[in-house]
Chains A and B, each alone.
Chain A
Amino acid sequence: MAANARPRMPTLAAHHREPPLNRPDPDDVELELFIRGLQLRHGYDFSQYARASLKRRVQALAIATGSRTIGELTSRVVRDDVLLPTVVSAMSVPVSEMFRDPPVFRALRAEVLPILASYPHINIWQAGCARGEEVYTLAILLEEAGLYDRCQIFATDFNDAALAQAQEGIFPVTEARQYAENYLAAGGAHTLNHYCHAKYDHIKFDSALRRNVTFANHNLVADGVFCEAHLILCRNVLIYFTNPLQDRVLGLFRNTLVRGGFLCLGSKESIDYSENAREFVALNRRARIYRLGAPSA
């Protein structure tokens, strides 16, 4: 037993733990470090974004910026502020289309606008407006319902570049046919040409359509209530969020809406996993239009 009495020298093996059995892929580890780096260095928090699509976006960004790996992209992003707008754009809500899912806008026209018409002044929040396709959609819808002059639209996004584009109201002409078809399918009163003109390779919407629109930077991840709204449109934004963040944002919407106010989400979105969504009553489930609590008497 004498040999055992001597203090044992620590061996390398004692410090080197076996790698865990289902250890994550390098790409997944690098993705987490990228998220942490953006948060520490730039204050943008993407930790509550669902990982499957976030990974695709970040991988695409790595390729677009000439980085061989997400890890290489991370070290560039934390050292180079110039790269940040590119990163923020790549991480934000993608391009939408005008009157996407036409039946939704038919439903808004038929079931929501008549109720909104009873308010002397109507506040509408377009949350995550990206390049503004839905802002102009909404403005046209309100114009044709004769309500627009009583409306204030707040169009927000956390991506300043997208906001600047939204303010321009310019879209590629290649999209025009789809938009025009959607507009008619949504029950438009004219043709889309009534509101825009084509020039070279783009279409430009009348500036009059944004006379009651305020574009502002707002980050659903971090920012709070900034207005009282009668209608919130936030379509295909929360699908990118984990359940806890989705719940937080639905709480923000609840606190923003007036009693009996309306919330319109994307056509495939599910709020079944959110506590804060319990106060929303489906008005038109297919169109994902909800109403907050019982309407005030």
Chain B
Amino acid sequence: MNDRGRSSAVVIGCSTGGLKALRSLLGALRADLAAPVIVVCHRGSTDDREHLVELLAQAAPMPVQEPDERSRVRPNVVHLAPSGYHLLIEADETFMLSVDARVNFSRPAIDVLFESAAAVYRERLLAAVLTGANDDGAIGLKAVRARGGHALVQSPEEAEADRMPRAALQVAGADAVLTLAGIADRINQRCP
């Protein structure tokens, strides 16, 4: 596979149904995945809010962490946006946290992560929009595609909540519409 078929960073966004979807998706990733995986999952007031890191760490074959601000984006780590903060990537591939206004009624917002990651990784970025009951991520995915990044959307038929993948498809389109298993395969292929 040539460089055009490769990605050096992965961003994932989800909301309603996201915990289950992420556990399934992360669980299917190869343990030696070379890329960092950076995740925004909207968190409600439910009890998964505090325990999301542990719940994902049980499923993922690599470490799952909430990144400290200013820390480096590290390969083979799942970085999970902390509750109440937007997560952004700086040009030097370090994390930035912000408490700026909610975007799409959300903080963290998927659009904020995707847009900043698109600016840094450009065509080296792989972005996936999964299940969710709002439109967050659609504009972000459009930004990813505009920079030549690889855009995946979970099949609305499979998604627990189909509004988020449908909004992404409508606003941004995608390079592929796949099941969670298909998205995991694609990430494994593109990030050897």
A52 and B97 alpha carbons, distance in the complex (Å): 10
A240 and B70 alpha carbons, distance in the complex (Å): 10
Q: Are A243 and B70 in contact (CB under 8 A)?
A: yes
Other than A25-B119, A53-B100, give 20 A-B pairs with Cβ distance below 8 A.
A28-B119, A51-B91, A52-B96, A53-B86, A53-B96, A55-B119, A56-B88, A56-B98, A94-B101, A96-B99, A239-B69, A239-B97, A239-B98, A243-B70, A268-B69, A268-B82, A270-B70, A272-B68, A272-B70, A273-B70
Q: Are B99 and A94 in contact (CB under 8 A)?
A: yes
- Which residues of B have CB within 8 Å of A50? 90, 96
Chain A contact residue count (CB 8 A cutoff):
22
- Which residues of A have CB within 8 Å of B70? 243, 270, 272-273
- Which residues of B have CB within 8 Å of A55? 116, 119
A 31-70 binary contact with B (CB < 8 Å = 1; else 0)? 0000000000000000000111101110000000000000
Q: B37 within 8 Å of A by Cβ?
A: no
Q: Are A56 and B100 in contact (CB under 8 A)?
A: yes
Which positions 77-97 of chain B face chain A at CB distance < 8 Å?
82, 85-86, 88-91, 96-97
B 56-86 binary contact with A (CB < 8 Å = 1; else 0)? 0000000000001111000000000010011
A269 and B99 alpha carbons, distance in the complex (Å): 12
Q: Are B98 and A240 in contact (CB under 8 A)?
A: yes
Chain A residues with a Cβ under 8 A of chain B: 25, 28, 50-53, 55-57, 94-96, 236, 239-240, 243, 266, 268-270, 272-273
Q: Are B69 and A270 in contact (CB under 8 A)?
A: yes
Q: B112 within 8 Å of A by Cβ?
A: yes
A138 and B97 alpha carbons, distance in the complex (Å): 24
Nearest-CB residue, chain B, relative to A101? B84
30 contacts between A and B (CB under 8 A): A25-B119, A50-B90, A51-B90, A52-B91, A52-B116, A52-B119, A53-B88, A53-B100, A55-B116, A55-B119, A56-B100, A56-B116, A94-B99, A94-B100, A94-B101, A95-B101, A96-B99, A236-B99, A239-B69, A239-B96, A239-B97, A239-B98, A239-B99, A243-B70, A268-B69, A268-B82, A268-B85, A268-B97, A270-B69, A273-B70
A266 and B68 alpha carbons, distance in the complex (Å): 12
A71 and B151 alpha carbons, distance in the complex (Å): 29
- Which residues of A have CB within 8 Å of B69? 239, 268-270
